[in-house]
Structure 1
């Protein structure tokens, strides 16, 4: 019987959550990355093996890389982008040599994942991550003051953004700015306002079709190598899965994802199925997406969200929210039995709760909240697998 390979994300030696904590949570392995290496530089075999040894000395495995960053020059196809692709290929070779086979990456312009509130008060007293479109408008139009930003919003959205800006203190405005552009855990960059606007300027002439073309070019460059090395790529969807700050989004729907597989059918070309990211869009049917992309799911982020009006959403507990997690795990379980493989999974994010409320944490990556999520998901899979065994005796 094949079960999900249960992991947690670990940010390295400076992560307040230790490898011992992760092992005690019941994980078989970790998801990690070499965040100290600047984007675009080569991950040397020596650096990879150093990290791998630290993990293995704690009785765990380094199962998945998350993420091997794609340099912005590759996304925009500007000066030096071919050099960065060549560097990326060398890093892939070194990871394969070290025995790490699943490589997560994303192709989101400039920002990785985006939230406006990193300590939203949940009704049970825990702290959650939250996204509010009015706060995005307030930042975009009245703090950043992006040229022509008003063209991207309705009159109602602008009014709500103006109300936020007018009622927030200077401290709240600075906190909002930091939440959006100062760099979240695992994000590839952090910016000042001036730097962020300059980065946005690089996308002035890049629309959805052009960015999609650049991703396909990148995949055509690296997937033959990945096929030869038996590496599996896991492209993370856009988070959130709709445009922000005038930037194009190309990994937000089943249609967009299918284009990538039709254009680059190589066996290594796969996705990281993130239920929380894709679930924000009400027109995404995650159950159908699991069936459609069954052969392409190389990594799972299991997270739940609670959507509200205006495309706002709050990250909820793993078994609560818009997403039917039972249906998700059951579908994944049956795919694993049919394909005779285990798919690595991590409980994506978790509330800050209990003793962790007193600690400094990486937002979304506290120990106890993820432990709760992992326990719930493990129990869910246990029940599904027991029913399956009864039916297949």
Structure 2
């Protein structure tokens, strides 16, 4: 597998030269963050990002993410306009030599947590989610803002957007996703690219919004509806695994040849639809990380994998979930499992 690391560009407090010192690190996962959602990514800026990564002897192996405009998710008449721009961005990425793109289809909000620095018993801090707290929050009030959220909306715009989704069923949102895929997958095929949809995080409705990439059934639907190797999955252990009913090994089985990217992290279930992120170790979280990695190795997966959200440890301060130290520990832990599984085979 290509052990990789998420990097947020020159503004990231974690430097490429620091990442370079992590044993076995091969790839960088990044994006261009200054372009408004729905606009075309200029090939010049893509090449500039790629050059910065390659100067440190890394491969820019995944773009995470090319955001999907809300008009596409809502199925509005204007969606075709934004889909055409999305196609152009895919072509520009391909021509710059980037062949794997991660994206998500979560309405309005990206990944959601209720705390960015919840304490753990070992003295570290991590991201956590509490369902009862979410029920008491009003997202329009600005009580909660998180990395990854589009904060460009004014409160009245956000309110209007939320209202548009209120009457939408999960089946309708899935239809809009399939329509989107039917348009962009042929472009990905032409460019020999892999599209890897990220599961919803957490994998259930938040703030009353529909979510449709949450379980095995959803994955089967989206993969079978547009049957192409280009139409694939980002297998995120923490997103799927936040819901105890999700069988991670079963999801790997039904998506084996369509998993194009892996996010590996562990979570500890703390209640009904509540969890806290932990170290990657099986001794700290609720997920069977060893069995998951073993299953991926047995399936023949050799693509990019990255240690996902890490704790803040040893006094480090930085982007919540994206510090250097714990993700470095996670990468080493994962590589140890992978090496052991391969040596046994």
Aligned to 1:301: 263
Residue among 126, 136, 159 paired with 1:138: 136
Aligned to 2:102: 104
Question: Following TM superposition, by how much is the alpha carbon of 1:76 offset from its aligned partner in structure 2, in angstroms?
Answer: 0.5
TM-score by length of 2: 0.96
Say if 2:220 is the partner of 1:252: no
TM-score by length of 1: 0.84
Aligned positions, number: 342
Alpha carbons of structure 1 residues 188 and 299: separation in structure 2 relative to 1, 3 Å: farther
Q: Secondary structure at the match of 2:137?
A: helix
Q: Secondary structure at the match of 1:64?
A: strand
The structure having more radius of gyration, on CA atoms, is 1
Aligned to 1:78: 76
The structure in which a higher percent of residues are helix is 1
Alpha carbons of structure 1 residues 72 and 92: separation in structure 2 relative to 1, 3 Å: same
Aligned to 1:6: 3
Aligned to 1:217: 179
Residue among 23, 26, 29 paired with 2:27: 29
Contact 2:27–2:304, Cα closer than 8 Å, also in 1: no
**CA displacement, residues 57-106 of structure 1 (integer Å, 9 cap, x when unaligned):** 11111000000110111101225211110000000001111111110000
Contact 2:233–2:259, Cα closer than 8 Å, also in 1: yes
Give ranges in structure 1 of 5+ residues lacking alignment. 146-173, 389-393
Aligned to 1:326: 290
Say if 2:302 is the partner of 1:342: yes
Say if 2:321 is the partner of 1:364: yes
Say if 2:317 is the partner of 1:353: no
Question: Following TM superposition, by how much is the alpha carbon of 1:224 offset from its aligned partner in structure 2, in angstroms?
Answer: 0.8
Aligned to 1:41: 39
Aligned to 1:316: 278
Distance 2:29 2:149 in 1: 15
**CA displacement, residues 85-137 of structure 1 (integer Å, 9 cap, x when unaligned):** 00000000011111111100000000010000000001101111000111101
Distance 2:171 2:140 in 1: 26
Aligned to 2:201: 239
Distance 1:199 1:352 in 2: 34
Contact 2:234–2:261, Cα closer than 8 Å, also in 1: yes
